[in-house]
Structure 1
Amino acid sequence: MVFPIQIPSDAPFTAEQRAWLNDFLNQVFSSLGQSAAASGPSVPVTVLYGSQTGTAEGLAKKLIKTLKKGNFAPEIHDLATYDRSRLASEKNVLIITSTYGDGEPPDSAAEFHAWLLNGSAPKLDGVSYSILALGDSSYPDFCKCGVEFDTRFAELGATCIHPRVDVDVDADGPYA
């Protein structure tokens, strides 16, 4: 793989998604001080998703397929079943989550969300992260779950390697 990383134009992502992924993956390498040489050690990436209707889950699965083609060691976990005791030891975390109803986390992320925000979560020094937040801008709490995850990860000492991206998801649009 050549640095900088470029997601192929025929990958199953929109132009906006590819741009975000390119930035995210290049920031991972920059923050780790590693080159993207295929002969080097694989870069661990943990993809966590919270999904109500399947959109965030679908994007997470597409991302995993793309990461497996590169010099990455990706893992994917639904936030509903993710072992939270691992969070502080993760290296690179990408969260893809929706916001449901009036600013609520999706059902699959509700327990993780409560745990993260209620003061039980450990310090996240050494964890690098980025968040793709999905929502509907017609609601007043657009992408609230992603915003709260982003705020809390920063408060716990994690390093943001790419600014959160808030996506207005149209049921018939490119992220569906």
Structure 2
Amino acid sequence: MINEQIKDKEVRVINENGEQLGIMSAKEALKLAREANLDLVKIAPMAKPPVCKIIDYGKYRYEQARKEKEAKKKQKITEVKEIRFSPNIGDNDLNTKANMARKFLSKGDKVKVTLRFRGREMAHTAASKVILDNFYAKLEDIAVIEKPAKLEGRNMTMVLSEKR
């Protein structure tokens, strides 16, 4: 809220230099802002009484946008990559999948390993957990289990993330 939008009876006022001017009516604070050719901006609406600052609103908005943009730059977006295979996968195929997972983990992504069961393969789910354990053993040096292997419907899934 700026200038006339501030409807509070009393506000705590801070001038453009950051010095507190004390508690006064919103009309007096607006008059002070007008004298300085600046805007009265409510910066802490939930405080008792609300805190208003006498500043250049356009410059304030620009600074806020710049801070948000800077914060977005520093964010690292982690994706979840999925690797699927069946219980009757060969050793070389498992090694190839493990190498792909290694690449994903080194980039900082998480890896969701899915073991899909079809038809009669559902009868051997307990023996298939060994395959996921072998897969993790190949990646133990760079990965840590974030979510252990769990059977969900016809899929057994496990989530791996990079070691810190």
Do they superpose with TM above 0.5? no
- Give 1 or 2 for the bigger CA radius of gyration: 2
**Greater helix proportion:** 2
TM-score of the two chains, using structure 2 as the length reference: 0.30
Q: TM-score, with normalisation over the residues of structure 1?
A: 0.29
Structure with the larger RCO, 1 or 2 (CA within 8 Å, 6+ apart)? 1
